[in-house]
Amino acid sequence: MNALIINCSPVKTGATAEIARLVCENLSEKYETKCICIDDYKFGFCKGCRSCHKTAECVMNDDIPLILSEFDKSDIIVCVSPSYWADIPGQFKAFIDRCTPWCNTHEPHLTVRKGKKGYCIALRTGPGMAECERIIQSIEHFYGHLEINCCGRLGLCSVEYKEDVEPRKDEIASFCRRIVFSE
């Protein structure tokens, strides 16, 4: 089985990347894992032309199909997202917008292989969990439109820098064990 872990932050070396690395490491006991960073791919903003509502294809030619092919190959998808002004980063939001050809709200639409399980990890610098919940809701809403079953969530408050992740390693490992043992 395959697991895809997505660093939804444009920062490739920060706290979000460290959490994604730990998830990848913990899940590799059971899964073939692949960890990607949203910023490693090139894609533009959705133009809102709605051509994909009629054709199930985007008029733009960029890396979105490459990312969705990774979704298709995976059985488990874990999105790890920081808070940017109380929601997901703009780069990740732009990616979600561009997934409209795969969205189940119109016909025809493309699909990813059925039976996927989706997990969310949200982190923020402040102490309140409400912001993490908002991020998780954004990701779960996205999963729903791709027909990915939402199976688990973890919110991490007071995490700003990579070194803030160290004291949370056991909490992250425990979350990963729940993923591994849910299969």
- What is the pTM (predicted TM-score) of this model? 0.96
Element (H, E) at 25: helix 15-27
3-state SS, residue 14? coil
| Partner residues linked to 33 by β-bridges | 3
The pLDDT > 70 percentage for the chain reads 99
How does DSSP assign 90-145, residue by residue? Answer: HHHHHHHHHTGGG-TTSSS---PPS--EEEEEEE-SSS-HHHHHHHHHHHHHHHHH
Q: Over the stretch 82-140, which tens digit does the pLDDT of each residue have?
A: 999 999 999 999 999 999 999 999 899 999 999 999 999 999 999 999 999 999 999 99
- What does CATH list as the number for 2-181? 3.40.50.360
- Tell whether the model's pLDDT for residue 55 goes beyond 80: yes
